[in-house]
Structure 1
Amino acid sequence: MLVDSHCHLDHLDLSDYQNSLDRLLDTARQRGVTQFLSVGVDLPSSSRLVELAQTRDDMLVSVGVHPLQRESPPLPEVTELLSLGSQPGVVAIGETGLDNYYDKDNAEWQEQSFISHLQAGAQLRKPVIVHTREARAQTMAILRDYASTSSGGVIHCFTENWDMAKAAMDLNFMISFSGIITFRNASALREVVKKVPLENMLVETDAPWLAPVPYRGKQNEPKYVVEVAKAVAEIKGVGWQQVAEVTTANFQRLFLP
């Protein structure tokens, strides 16, 4: 059994599957992927995901506003996040965080949004899913000030260094790895994979983006989380089924306590 701990099911191109999400997810289930956490990137999409989750027992949802969602400039209110976050099937808040790679000019908006998500997560006692890129110091400073260490969270699609991974784990945050760890130029990240204990790790696709080797250039899909688990296993020198079992247990401990 394996979980895709971070995907965007509402962004997948279903044209190869007769426009059926079930058909696409069947290809994942045939590979042992039995549960999917679909992550909202803005309030409208989060609301739609909540509705979709009511019709499925294999799908869980996180609700939030991605730090690059400048199309909706009003800051998400804590009350809005609390309302969405308390709906059935919602197990986390986010994704939220900071991105100085694509948008340095939006720093204040990003920081305030990030804080609102962390406040909502703390009030709901639900973990927070964090996106961070070229913002290590700012991300950790805000987490130290506002994150709930009891409910914790996850740094998703981790691409940072060991020092940041260790600091996040000290705050009860999991470290989630994606198909990036299979990329040829990701040798430094693979060294981080070696150091992060399996008990602090999740695996994800971030579908439809970042398809792992040997599927780069194609749409990423939840079924490819198997490749991520196998890459972790090779890096750490363990069986991939052990990676599947431990990361699934980690997922359940974090999101379904």
Structure 2
Amino acid sequence: MLTDTHAHLNDEKFDEDREAVIARAVEQGVTRIVNVGFNRETIPTSLKLAEQYDFIYSTVGWHPQDAKDMRPEDLDWLESLCSHEKVVAIGEIGLDYYWDTSPKDVQDRVFRDQIRLARKLGLPIVIHNRDAHSDIVKILREEKASEVGGIMHCYSGSWETAKLCLDMNFHISFGGPITFKNAKQPKEVLQKVPLDRLLIETDSPYLTPHPYRGKRNESAYVRLVAEAAAELTGKTLEEIAEITTTNAIRLLKLK
């Protein structure tokens, strides 16, 4: 009963064996996968995947790295897609100060526009945050994102920032890095996150957990993330699977 709350199974890296990848996830006990569409190219293919498999859901949103390419009509397009029965959140959205692909002011505007859309529609949001912790918190607070809440995807920040996000109605999601020997901060933060706000993910094909680090990630490996979370929290694998799946079902209204 595992749930991968963040995957990119429509990525071209899966073009040769996508069906087999999904079958392996099922074999490992994955019962729900949230696939993320994040720009003009990936949103349609994410939706197609969700339509093909009853246990796969989709998000729709505009990634900060692609913010410069977002046109005014694209926001209307996103809104029209949110009525799709398999769309469960707006995301991934946020700020990325590591990759210099979109100006910060453009990222800011696109981020705010999508938070406002989420509030209008009553949908949770999935946050991408890279090297932008203080600005993320500032914008979430100013745009009243607590009204819809959502997911801090693949969380890598401090416990102090996590507390601010928790106070704004967000869940904290962890991926492959909690299996890395040198990932001290994510492990410490996970141990402090209330269990009813804890989620797990793969971000496949990226951030592959140990012992497959450096290779392509896939949703089956969310089991390795769950095992690490279980060890860190003193729970069993089964308990972590049930806790995180229950949280995902409640937040994203999954079936």
Q: Do they fold alike, i.e. is TM over 0.5?
A: yes
Which consecutive unaligned segments of at least 5 residues does structure 2 have?
Answer: none
Determine the C-alpha separation between the residues in 2 that align with 1:142 and 1:24.
37
Equivalent pair of 1:76/1:116 in contact (CA under 8 Å)? no
C-alpha contact 1:54 1:88 (8 A) present in aligned 2: no
2:13 equivalent in structure 1 = 13
TM-score of the aligned structures, taking structure 2 as reference length: 0.94
**Distance in 2, Cα, partners of 1:179 & 1:138:** 25
Deviation at 1:246, TM superposition (A): 0.4
1:91 match: secondary structure:
strand
Offset at residue 124 of structure 1 (A): 1.2
Structure 1: which 4+ aligned runs deviate by more than 6 Å?
none
Cα–Cα, structure 1 residues 112 and 256, in superposed 2: closer, same or farther, change >3 Å? same
What is the CA–CA distance in structure 1 between the aligned matches of 2:144 and 2:68, rounded to whole Å? 26
Over aligned residues, Cα RMSD in angstroms? 1.8
Q: Does 1:242 align with 2:239?
A: yes
Question: Which residue does 1:223 correspond to in 2?
Answer: 220
Q: Alignment partner for residue 201 of structure 1, among 194, 198, 218?
A: 198
The one-letter amino acid of 2:200's match is V
Query: Quick one: distance in 1 between partners of 2:193 and 2:87?
Result: 27
Q: Is the 8 A contact 1:47 1:84 kept in 2?
A: no
Alignment partner of 2:182 out of 182, 185, 193: 185
Unaligned runs of 5+ in 1: none
State the percentage of identical aligned residues: 39
Tell me, what secondary structure is at the counterpart of 2:66?
coil
- Contact in 2 for aligned 1:230/1:240 (Cα 8 Å): yes
Deviation at 1:89, TM superposition (A): 0.6
Structure-2 change in CA distance of 1:196 and 1:76 (3 Å):
farther
Structure 1 CA distance for aligned equivalents of residues 153 and 14 of structure 2: 24
After TM superposition, give the deviation of residue 7 of structure 1 in Å: 0.3
Which letter maps to 1:5? T
> Deviation string for 1:5-41 (max 9, x for gaps)?
00001115336xxx34222111111110011100012
What displacement does 1:220 show?
A: 0.2
Q: Any residues of structure 2 matched to 1:85-234 within 5 Å, and which?
A: 85-103=82-100, 106-234=103-231
Q: TM-score scaled to structure 1, two decimals?
A: 0.93
Aligned residue pair count: 254
